[in-house]
């Protein structure tokens, strides 16, 4: 080994000095390059370490916020907030018939009449905004309070002026329809009621306050809203925000799933202090609803309502003109998985019967006038339709038809129609619509958004749709001389093409 080392050293001494110097320079360069690369790697590792530390801090913050949110949600489990916004565009067009119109009184107190020549009336671009806020508060076990706030106005207007002129239910905004017809940009209380469930541990409930007696079945299909539960009223009979109370029971009957019955009481007008000059009486509404079968796919309902001391003019009363009875039946059904979707079907029918007294407004009583004398009148109405829901695309296609006879009268001035409540028409109304959901992932608990495109056509046969003051007369028989003056220029037909953009949250 020693000999090998000696020979190796001797040979190395024989190498030229420049070659040794060159090898040393290359070695130093490689060492320097490796040193720089090592420094760069150390810097990268430090940066990665800093990013990891920052990410861990962020994760910790998010986790703390999530824990805090969960804790706050637990604290706020007694409060539920939701709402909806709707933009609506309507293109309106109608034709009036010749008539003699009542135009008020002169300075001597004599009535003024003027002839009306039939004409075309239109509003080609009526646009509205509507905002609703819903609150549900759990106060104690079995007791909760619900409220709904509404704002509804015409673009470029702060009154109901643009929709007035042809029907009594659109002539003014009064208690019971506030927030349901365009008015102004004030957010008003539409509903506010308290409910006590499981009264004395029995299947009984009691509810009192400003009632959810608008937008009832089956009109919720075309507005694409959820069906109101046991608090709802069929749209053909009542669409009016009543102040009142309900007492109901829902006993368990195996053969009749979801069965319940309820008694309702409401006040439609308060006459104020009784004085010698004030002969007005309060207006009341009583009702009984029996639902023998109520499931998601089948619903049957029977109703009786009675209006007592019906007012002649809603905002002032003026006079009590008598009583009205209503009887109705509503059946709705849903057939799942027919082709690409589900099919919804419904039919609702009703009878109205008036009981007039001798009181009048300008000589016109409860569905009677000097030409058509005082008598009880019975009217009939039917409302039917279908909606097909295509699941894959979020498309819903619907069609509806309703017919009212000469003497039909309902109590639906808060209906979601621009011309007039279509279910109070003395004649025929046809409606077709398409709903298209955006099918976006919901962020809000009830998050949803959709467009609705529809067409309504009114074919009026008799005067006074949605007006119980004055007798109905066949529109085709009216002339500029009578037979009796009308309060409004009678529309013989009207149509609306509408488009809405609805957002639920």
Rounded-to-integer distance, Cα 238 and Cα 242, Å: 10
Each residue's pLDDT tens digit, 326-369: 999 999 999 999 999 999 999 999 999 999 999 999 999 999 99
* Residue 15 belongs to a domain: no
Task: Assign residue 209 the CATH number of its domain.
Answer: 2.40.160.10
Each residue's pLDDT tens digit, 176-229: 999 999 999 999 999 999 999 999 999 999 999 999 999 999 999 999 999 988
Each residue's pLDDT tens digit, 474-495: 999 999 998 999 999 999 999 9
* Residue 138 belongs to a domain: yes
* Residue 93 belongs to a domain: yes
Per the DSSP assignment, residues forming a β-bridge with 500 are 88, 452
* Residue 32 belongs to a domain: no
Q: Report the pLDDT averaged over residues 12-31.
A: 56
Q: Judge whether residue 4 has pLDDT over 50.
A: no
Rounded-to-integer distance, Cα 170 and Cα 152, Å: 14
Q: Report the pLDDT averaged over residues 278-285.
A: 90
Q: Judge whether residue 383 has pLDDT over 90.
A: yes
* Residue 21 belongs to a domain: no
User: What does the pLDDT read at residue 385?
Assistant: 98
- pLDDT-derived band at 47 (thresholds 50, 70, 90) equals confident
User: What does the pLDDT read at residue 52?
Assistant: 67
- pLDDT-derived band at 33 (thresholds 50, 70, 90) equals confident
* Residue 47 belongs to a domain: no
Task: Judge whether 246 and 270 are in contact, CB under 8 Å.
Answer: no
How many structural domains does the chain have? 1
Lowest-confidence pick of 66-75, 289-298, 306-315: 66-75
User: What does the pLDDT read at residue 84?
Assistant: 97
Domain of residue 438 covers 78-504
Q: Judge whether residue 66 has pLDDT over 50.
A: yes
- pLDDT-derived band at 109 (thresholds 50, 70, 90) equals confident
- pLDDT-derived band at 28 (thresholds 50, 70, 90) equals low
- pLDDT-derived band at 69 (thresholds 50, 70, 90) equals low
* Residue 14 belongs to a domain: no
CA angle 11, 14, 18 (to 5 degrees): 125
More confident residue, 228 or 73: 228
Closest CA to 321 of 286, 279, 352, 258: 279
Instruction: Tell me how crowded residue 251 is: count the other CB atoms within 10 A of its CB.
Output: 11
Lowest-confidence pick of 91-105, 212-226, 265-279, 381-395: 265-279
User: What does the pLDDT read at residue 166?
Assistant: 96
* Residue 141 belongs to a domain: yes
Rounded-to-integer distance, Cα 4 and Cα 21, Å: 25
User: What does the pLDDT read at residue 64?
Assistant: 57
- pLDDT-derived band at 278 (thresholds 50, 70, 90) equals confident
More confident residue, 31 or 370: 370
Closest CA to 161 of 145, 172, 150: 172
Q: Judge whether residue 54 has pLDDT over 80.
A: no
- Residue-level length of the chain: 505
Q: Judge whether residue 14 has pLDDT over 60.
A: no
- pLDDT-derived band at 48 (thresholds 50, 70, 90) equals confident
Each residue's pLDDT tens digit, 384-430: 999 999 999 999 999 999 999 999 999 999 999 999 999 999 999 99
Task: Judge whether 473 and 488 are in contact, CB under 8 Å.
Answer: no
Q: Judge whether residue 466 has pLDDT over 80.
A: yes
Alpha helices in 197-354 (DSSP H): 220-223
């Amino acid at each position: 080994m020693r000999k090998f080392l000696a020979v190796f050293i001797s040979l190395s001494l024989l190498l030229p000095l420049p070659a040794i110097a060159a090898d040393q320079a290359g070695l130093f360069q490689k060492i320097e390059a490796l040193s720089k690369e090592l420094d760069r790697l150390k810097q990268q590792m430090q940066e990665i370490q800093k990013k990891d530390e920052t990410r861990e801090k962020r994760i910790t913050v998010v986790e703390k916020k999530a824990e805090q949110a969960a804790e706050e949600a637990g604290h706020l489990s007694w409060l539920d907030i939701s709402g909806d916004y709707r933009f609506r565009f309507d293109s309106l067009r109608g034709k009036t018939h010749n008539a003699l119109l009542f135009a008020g009184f002169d300075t001597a107190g004599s009535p003024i009449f003027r002839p009306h020549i039939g004409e075309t009336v239109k509003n080609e671009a009526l646009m509205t905004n509507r905002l609703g806020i819903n609150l549900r508060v759990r106060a104690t076990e079995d007791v909760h309070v619900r409220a709904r706030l509404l704002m509804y106005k015409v673009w470029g207007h702060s009154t109901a002026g643009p929709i007035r002129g042809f029907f009594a239910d659109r002539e003014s905004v009064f208690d019971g329809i506030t927030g349901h017809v365009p008015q102004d940009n004030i957010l008003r209380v539409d509903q506010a009621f308290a409910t006590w469930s499981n009264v004395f541990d029995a299947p009984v409930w009691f509810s009192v306050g400003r009632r959810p007696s608008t937008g009832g079945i089956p009109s919720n299909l075309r507005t694409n809203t959820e069906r109101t539960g046991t608090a709802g009223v069929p749209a053909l009979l009542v669409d009016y925000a009543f102040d009142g109370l309900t007492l109901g029971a829902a006993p368990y009957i195996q053969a009749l799933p979801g069965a319940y019955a309820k008694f309702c009481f409401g006040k439609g007008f308060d006459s104020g202090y009784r004085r010698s000059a004030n002969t007005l009486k309060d207006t009341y509404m009583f009702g009984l609803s029996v639902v023998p079968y109520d499931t998601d796919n089948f619903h049957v309902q029977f109703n009786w309502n009675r209006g007592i001391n019906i007012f002649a003019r809603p905002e002032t009363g003026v006079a009590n003109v008598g009583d009205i009875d209503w009887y109705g039946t509503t059946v709705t059904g849903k057939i799942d998985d027919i082709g690409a979707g589900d099919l919804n079907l419904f039919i609702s029918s009703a009878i109205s019967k008036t009981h007039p007294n001798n009181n009048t407004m300008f000589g016109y009583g409860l569905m009677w006038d000097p030409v058509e004398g005082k008598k009880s009148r019975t009217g009939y109405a039917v409302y039917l339709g279908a909606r097909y829901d295509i699941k894959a695309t979020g498309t819903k296609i619907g069609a509806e038809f309703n017919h009212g006879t000469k003497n039909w009268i309902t109590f639906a001035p808060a209906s979601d129609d621009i011309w007039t409540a279509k279910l109070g028409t003395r004649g025929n109304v046809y409606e077709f619509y398409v709903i298209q959901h955006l099918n976006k992932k919901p962020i809000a608990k009830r998050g949803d958004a959709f467009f609705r495109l529809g067409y309504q056509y009114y074919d009026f046969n008799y005067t006074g749709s949605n007006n119980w003051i004055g007798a109905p007369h066949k529109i085709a028989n009216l002339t500029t001389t009578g037979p009796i003056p009308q309060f409004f220029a009678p529309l013989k037909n009207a149509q609306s093409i509408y488009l809405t953009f609805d957002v639920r949250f």
